[in-house]
Amino acid sequence: MKRLFPVLVTLFSSSLLLSAQSPAKTESPPPRKREPLIVPDVPRNELICFALYTTSRGVLKMSTFLYPLKDGEERKLTLEVMRDEKWQPLSEAPVEELGWMAQFRVSPWDDAKEHRYRITHAGGSIYEGVIRRNPVDKDEIVVANFSCNGNNDRGPREDIIRNIKAQNPDLLFFAGDQSYDHKEHYAAWLLFGRQFGEICRDRPVVTIPDDHDVGHPNLWGEGGEISRVPTGNDGGYFMPVPYVNMVQRAQCGHLPDPADPTPVKNGITVYYTSLQLGGIDFAILEDRKWKTGPAGLVPQMGPRPDHINDPNYDRQSIDVPEAQLLGDRQLKFLETWANSWNGVEMKCVLSQTPFVGTAHLHGGKADRLLADLDCNGWPQSGRNAALRVIRRGFAVHLCGDQHLSTVCQYGINAWGDAPWAFASPAIANIYPRSWDPLEKPKRHDAASTLPATGDYYDGFGNKLTMRAYFNAVPENNMGIGYGIARFRKSTREITFELWKRGADVTKDKPVTGWPVTIRQQDNYGRAPLGWLPTLRISGAKDPVVRIVEESSGETVYALRIQGNQFRPKIFNAGSYTVVVGEGDHQVTLPNVSSLSLDAPEQNLEIIIP
């Protein structure tokens, strides 16, 4: 570790001493020469750059980011809310010099109504916004999905800001690579705030770091190990631990408290958690932190350990038993999360990258890769273990990372037996990728307006059903844009929209191939091998139903149904425990025998007390 601390000092000194004018504005910027990263020298009454917040389960968390303070300036901020037409102090927070940030945590928090807030500094800087109420009464909850804010364009994001104000989403999700300036996250984070702060100040935001944010070209975190090679593909982190933790605190300090805050190796912090908003339960994952590095574990079959282009490689041989993806801790968290439905109607997983390989052509020369071990299609066993847990909650997956927007359904044992995923495109693209399979699909999607849709295998032998894609090619303006996901609770449908940079959402239509609408239960599309008796339930509206296989003791799935009738599908013959309801209003029925697929339908009457 000693060899890295001089680097840390250099990083912060270089980023704090730079100053320049704001870059020129543009609507939908083409790639251009990278401009230098700056920390503007602002007037002392403009020290507060931006803030991020979430509210969940009665807790408000907010992070505020400042330009560098000078000696003698106050090292604390005050959070105030408007009550009875007067600003009332609510909380104070110290300013941390590493990253120049302050973090507020307020509990209990009344999320049943909207609150105007302001953050003040003794030097005269004031930052104002709105903390929204929890939109539990809204039928449609809207999430904006972003990723990959490339540093080939440091200009403002006026087209995105204008569109987001018109679409008015309930949640902003930035899936990673908010910064591409590996050793200067602080300066890049302030730029991110100047680019997106206008839409972040008055709605909840989830930001999670990906590889470039923490200083890596690609990241295999290996549970917090220290990487010894500049590519990082041996597994672990090569930036100093205080730097990594600073990045994670900046991007994730405003998220709900971690499910388990215990650091991983070398004291690297964790942030995986869940957020409830508007009746949607979002699991926020770290799909890089425990992932195993491929170097020395998988034979090199390409120009580098993580890129495979040997046509004779064995897909199954690289699924080595030692390799992890999410790690045991996150899998355990997901099992609990998938079973928990208090106040929840639908579920969604938020993470960095898809659990499948969708990119065939890579880089400016469109080089073909057969498999890229940076995506979460590898390791296959870890990928399948994650999907088996996620589908138990009928959860959809929102992600980014690939610079290639896709809508596809994962398959484990069969096509379509696992969740749907929507990967957002790059905001600004420095490394183009394209979906361009050489193989014909096993089944073509005849209803699609795009040619290469249907059932395919990825480079690891994983099954996927491609529904829509937006390749990063010049005719698509290098595939830049953002996504919108609409969760409609009354119909239990999720609709995905893709909007290209420069579009006007008040006049234009989404990209060709979108919108795509799926049903909640499509996220566990596994074909049944039998049924349980049809549940006819009285005494509760839209109750939670949990199905437990008695031979294994495992929960098969849990779901808040619609109405008072539900026919549970099962995948093995045997006895099951059926749990209906919640808390004190719950009925448990053991020893419910399965029925064959062709057996006459039977009814089971259940009265919730």
Where are the domains positioned within the chain? Answer: 140-524, 530-607
Burial 555-579 (b: 16+ CB within 10 A, else e): bbbbbbbeebebebbbeeeeebbbb
For residue 496, the 8-state DSSP code is E
What are the respective helix, strand and coil percentages of the chain, to the nearest 5? 20, 30, 50
Q: Would you state the pLDDT for residue 492?
A: 98
| Integer CA distances (angstroms), 62 to 90, 134, 143, 159, 204, in order | 12, 16, 19, 26, 9
Each residue's pLDDT tens digit, 388-445? 999 999 999 999 999 999 999 999 999 999 999 999 999 999 999 999 999 999 999 8
Each residue's pLDDT tens digit, 166-204? 999 999 999 999 999 999 999 999 999 999 999 999 999
Each residue's pLDDT tens digit, 249-272? 999 999 999 999 999 999 999 999
Question: What rounded mean pLDDT belongs to the chain?
Answer: 93
pLDDT of 6 > 90? The answer is no
Q: Would you state the pLDDT for residue 137?
A: 97
For residue 106, the 8-state DSSP code is E
Of the candidates 453, 431, 430, 432, the residue with the CA atom closest to the CA atom of residue 443: 453
> What residue has token string 């601390």?
5
Percent of the chain at pLDDT > 90 equals 92
pLDDT of 3 > 70? The answer is no
Each residue's pLDDT tens digit, 282-327? 999 999 999 999 999 999 999 999 999 999 999 999 999 999 999 9
Q: Would you state the pLDDT for residue 7?
A: 37
* Architecture of the domain defined by 140-524: 4-Layer Sandwich (3.60)
- Describe the crossing of helices 185-200 and 5-17 by its angle, rounded to 10 degrees: 50
- Give the CATH number of domain 530-607: 2.60.40.10
Each residue's pLDDT tens digit, 219-244? 999 999 999 998 999 999 999 999 99
Q: Would you state the pLDDT for residue 12?
A: 42
> What residue has token string 């490339």?
150
Each residue's pLDDT tens digit, 19-62? 322 333 333 444 455 788 989 999 999 999 999 999 999 999 99
